[in-house]
Amino acid sequence: MFHFLITVCLWSTAVFAFVEELDGSFKDIKNDDVWLVDFYAPWCGYCKKLEPVWNDVGAELKRSGSPVRIGKMDATAFTGVASDFGVRGYPTIKLIKGEASYNYKGPRSKDAIIEFANRLAGPVLRSLPSKQMFEHVLRRHDVLFVYVGGVSPLKDKYTEMASELIVHTYFFSALEDVLPETVTLNEVPAVLVFKDGGHFVYDEYADGSLSSWVSRERFLSYLPIDGYTLYDLGDTGKLVAIVIIDEKNPTEDSIRLRNLVQRVATEYRDHYNRDVQFGHMDGSEYINSLIMGEISVPSIIMLNATSEQYFLPKKPVSTLEELLLFINSVLDGTAEGHGGDGVIQRVKRLAYDAKSTVQSVFRSSPILGCFLFGLPVAVISLMCYVLCTASAADDGTEDLKQDEEDEDEEDEEDEGQGRPALLDTTEETNKSIMDKKVD
């Protein structure tokens, strides 16, 4: 047992050694290496939840020989450093590479964080020198961007764009002779994206700017969607068509609706790809909180991820024609919109979030909820009672003083009236005595 405890202690020490606790001197050493840093607050619940994952990330990066050093910093203790890096919330994960820093906004999972770190630690453009390497990378990535050709103005644009969007996806370069035999290019240089079992070539005249095209194409045409993905989709400018399903208990209706949306995403790609992203979400809880309402399962919703405006079909969708009619009505502006980011909606959002927070606290810990919300109510009630009591006491004192002043005035009046009477009696007595002396 003793040896087991020693082993556990040594293992824990080794794990924590992979994560360096940083202080104010970090700004002087940050340029020496590539750093992945968790800016946290000691009281933050999300930070505490991330801590074991962060330790696993540190151990894995060390074991794999990654050049990325992993650290964490108490942003409440070193506010100046945190402010320099633009930290506004906790936890904030940043990869710092020289003078550049990149925010991580993906899932708080070990694999996702490690993939982010390895992608940004390497070169902006990764070369594919052979067919074997190209095929290997193609199998490894669901979405693959490749520049084909030599030095050109297009490559300069591609490199500049890649340096900005490397935070989201990988970018590769290759010569034409390493491409699969199924790929035929009308001209070189060119930029291609490989996804959905095929490839698509960037056309400056039809697709607009290269960065906009990459932002739109960096997702599969149909994909699973969660809160992180939905947030990320806000940068594409697309509407998001989401099938709400229950993956644990799939029904015939949910399977049918999901197949319909997948079919539209594939067969009508050329028609909708610029404006609509398709996918499904497991469960309605996240969408319910977003629209501040209840949505049935299964169902379909179209959402503007930027403005939080959403659209629902007037009746259940059961055929391909009904689905296309609904999507087209949203795109042409004839569908009724709900939600949005107006003033009234913002006020409703504040009230809804406050209500949800209170309910969440009481569901997870009723005792803590009573303490957090009962204590302020008790303090406010006590203060009101003290103020009211003090006011009543002040009123009574004033009345008492007034009564005393009134009594004093009455005494003075009595005294003023009594003295002449006493004086008259004395004078009569003295007069009697003088009369007796005369007699």
Give the whole-angstrom CA distance, residue 38 versus residue 47. 9
Decide if 47 is catalytic.
yes
Give the whole-angstrom CA distance, residue 174 versus residue 147. 6
Decide if 384 is catalytic.
no
Residue among 47, 370, 384, 388 flagged as catalytic = 47
Catalytically active residues are 44, 47
